[in-house]
Structure 1
Amino acid sequence: MVEQSIWMQKVAADPGHSQWYIERFRSMARAGEDLVGEARMVDAMVPRGSRILDAGCGPGRLSGYLSGVGHDVVGVDVDPALIAAAEEDHPGPRYVVADLAELDLPAHGVADPFDVIVMAGNVMAFLAPSTRATVLARLRAHLAPDGRAVIGFGAGREYDFGQFLDDAAASGLAQDLLLSTWDLRPFAEESEFLVALLRPA
């Protein structure tokens, strides 16, 4: 049995945590805040109609946008409450409740590999540390041969960027491009955020 994710540990400690998170994004959406910058970047990477996996999709903000502009989207999250919110607020994608460390989408009737896998929202930092490399390997297994994974998370979250890149390489993912923001600013040694574009090695 895999170690429980940091996210689900938070939910276990505070049963209201998921609903707080859902309402936070609903409130920002009502205020007109831009919640889909990551999705716009992903959309620019592939032709319309591409197969996209939103790994750790939360309440569906990116999945909904990408589906709405014409992509074939599957959103996966370990938290059933977040998936229920995604289905309510952003219908269109196929949503699946699953632990990324045990990701096996063919078992859920999703057989074809993905052109892009996006993991935004600091999902890497919410994984159980013992499962990080396993998750990267599971993502690699779901990528098309010419597909790419786009993974973003912040510094200071107990997962060093260098260690992440080493884990990605060990999982069969090679670096294409490293950025410091979702709006395409270059990555530097002092960057406080990493957006890594990776491809099958």
Structure 2
Amino acid sequence: MTSAGEHVSPQWARWRATVDLGEYESRFGHPDAHGEADLLSSLRPRSVLDAGCGTGRVAIELHRRGIEVMGVDLDDDLLALARAKAPDVEWRCVDLATMELGRRFHVVAMPGNVMLFCRAESRAALVARAAAHLDGVDGLVVAGFSVRVGDLSLEEYDRHAVAAGLDLVDRWAAWDRTPYTGGDYAVSVHRPTAAG
């Protein structure tokens, strides 16, 4: 395993130390495994940055659907699996809290608890770097994560978004756009304040 050290949360370190990547990959072999890609595709993005792409599941599906996509992650082992499955997709090993990719995207997507897997003290910087990579005022930051007591709250995430110059557009309880009425998971969509 590539050491991400101080860049990741303790829960990421525990998950990564115990996960069987082959078993993890097999979880997504069924037809309804692409809820994230379905929602992101419905936004009709010109381009997507899959930030915290892991083994590339979402980015690969978006690429298969004809969407220009780049995947970035801090873990070289996960990226190696992504590259092996989709060598035509651009994959980069970067720290999301400091990334500078030299280009912008219509949508920056952070599915899969990315916000929980980074260290708490780097979350504001991560949201700011996501916002900095948006292409225009119609750009969107889309993040889905578990809402846990004592961890990242939606209020805290929204504060990071506001500090990064983003406003909340939509929030759902799942990637299928189930209305959010509280609960332990949320998908949030933010866009630059100037777009409102």
**Class of the TM-score when normalised by the shorter of the 2 chains:** 0.7 to 0.9
Residues 36-73 of structure 1: per-residue CA shift (max 9 Å, x gap): 110111001015xx211000000000000001111110
Residue 184 of structure 2 corresponds to 192
Residue 176 of structure 2 corresponds to 183
Deviation at 1:3, TM superposition (A): 4.0
Q: Which runs of at least 4 in structure 1 moved beyond 4 Å after TM superposition?
A: none
Provide the secondary structure at the position in 2 that maps to 1:101: coil
CA distance in structure 1 between the partners assigned to 2:180 and 2:15 by the alignment:
36
1:126 aligns with 2:117: yes
Aligned pairs for 1:130-169 within 5 A: 130-145=121-136, 146-156=138-148, 158-169=151-162
The letter for the 1-side match of 2:125 is T
CA distance in structure 2 between the partners assigned to 1:3 and 1:170 by the alignment:
23
**Structure 2 residues without counterparts, runs of 5 or longer:** none
Q: How many residues align?
A: 187
CA distance in structure 1 between the partners assigned to 2:130 and 2:51 by the alignment:
8
Residues 133-152 of structure 1: per-residue CA shift (max 9 Å, x gap): 00000000000111111100
Assess, with a 3 A threshold, how the Cα gap between structure 1 residues 27 and 66 changes in structure 2: closer, same or farther. same
Provide the secondary structure at the position in 1 that maps to 2:40: helix
| TM-score, structure 2 normalization | 0.88
**Structure 1 residues without counterparts, runs of 5 or longer:** none
Provide the secondary structure at the position in 2 that maps to 1:130: helix
Percent identity, aligned pairs only? Answer: 32
